Amino acid sequence: MPVMTYIEAIRKGIWEEMERDDRVFMIGEDIGAHGGAFKLSAGMQEHFGPNRIVDTPLAENAFVGAAIGAALMGLRPIVEMQFADFISTCYDLIVNYAAKARYRWAAGVPIVIRGPSGGGVRGGPFHSNNPEIAFVHTPGLKVVVPATAYDAKGLIKAAIRDPDPVLYFEHKLLYRRIKEDVPAGDYVVPLGQARVARAGTDISVITYGAMVYVALEAAEKLAQEGDGVDVEVIDLRCLVPLDSEAVLASVRKTSRVILLHEDTRTAGFAGELAAQIASDAFDCLDAPVLRVTAPDCPVPYSPPLEDAFLPHASDVIAAVRRSMAY
């Protein structure tokens, strides 16, 4: 099995889908000759031509709208947001046009909007956001948040083949830091199936994206530091559709839960998970549901500030100890 980085896995998934289906094309800023800001599409325009790796003016409304129109006509566009932060500029087309079209007039909009999200790379307030929650809260959209290279490839393929609009938020910190065996051939990771990233018995950490690695780091430290706590880590993979069963099954098993995300706190995804756990697994809980998230502030640039903003393994460990003390 070839070893691949997270970004290579996404690229490979797109490449294979473009070979498999000539309705699939990619559109966005600087993705052609330049190969994209993160080089995800380097060399793709040479192979597929400028009609399928489509460079556009710097205008998100224009190319997201074009992708929606093309999708209505049966094509399968993949839109690259150069940075996920910029998705706010075309919010109207995504939430008012794409998300509501099937419900309103039975017109499917099979687009994938993908791009780098997340902090930890000193990107500052406009290149570090985690904008997923606005779209989680928009019925009609699906939201994918891969953590591993294996999932990055399998989920992008599932997203491209999906008949509904899918937002696929890559974590830019993982692009070249995560490297693992990824099958060379065709496989799909179905949307809406969470993954047990680490099996454990005492407490569940439910998370997604780059925070999966923070949770795993915390789990290993807790195992080594004589706490005697066996942590289970659940990687959600998708926020919509949500694998609620996997979340509840883990909580029922461990009776304690930490909800971890890099997005800011208030009305973040942890709030929704907490509500589901409280209503459907209340009887199983031995401790309050705890959240570990970024605080309610923009993502700052300067290293000591950004480090203070991002959740770390030490924050997860503190929350685990607090929960275990009940």
CA distance 294 to 311: 6
- Rule CB under 8 A: say whether 325 interacts with another protein: no
Looking at the DSSP assignment, which residues form a beta bridge with residue 113?
Answer: 79, 167
134 near another protein, rule: CB under 8 A: no
Q: Out of 2, 43, 88, 103, which residue is the one contacting another protein (CB under 8 A)?
A: 103
Give yes or no for a contact between 164 and 140, defined as CB atoms under 8 angstroms apart. Answer: yes
Alpha-carbon torsion (142, 112, 35, 6), positive or negative: positive
Q: Which of residues 15-74 bind another protein (CB under 8 A)?
A: 25, 51, 56-57, 59-74
Q: Where does residue 224 rank: exposed (0-12), middle (13-18), buried (19+ CB within 10 A)? A: exposed
Q: Please, what is the minimum distance in Å from the beta carbon of residue 51 to another protein?
A: 6
Active site residue 171: no
- CB-CB contact of 326 with 287 (8 Å): yes
Among candidate residues 127, 137, 171, 312, the one labeled active-site is: 127
Token pair 């999966």 is found at 212
- Rule CB under 8 A: choose which of 50, 163, 288, 298 binds another protein: 163
Shortest distance in whole angstroms from residue 232 CB to another protein: 28
CB nearer to another protein: give 47 or 104.
104
With binding defined as CB under 8 A, does residue 168 bind another protein?
no
User: Looking only at Cα atoms, what is the longest distance across the chain?
Assistant: 61
Residues in the chain: 326
243 lines the binding site for another protein (CB under 8 A): no
**Distance in angstroms (rounded) separating the CA atoms of residues 255 and 252:** 5
- Token pair listed for 100: 């509501």
Does 105 bind another protein (CB under 8 A)? Our answer is: yes
Nearest residue (CB) to another protein, 96 versus 266:
96
In the complex, the smallest distance separating the C-beta of residue 139 from another protein, rounded to whole angstroms, is 5
Binding site residues, another protein, CB under 8 A: 25, 51, 56-57, 59-75, 77, 92-93, 96-97, 100-108, 139-140, 142, 163-164
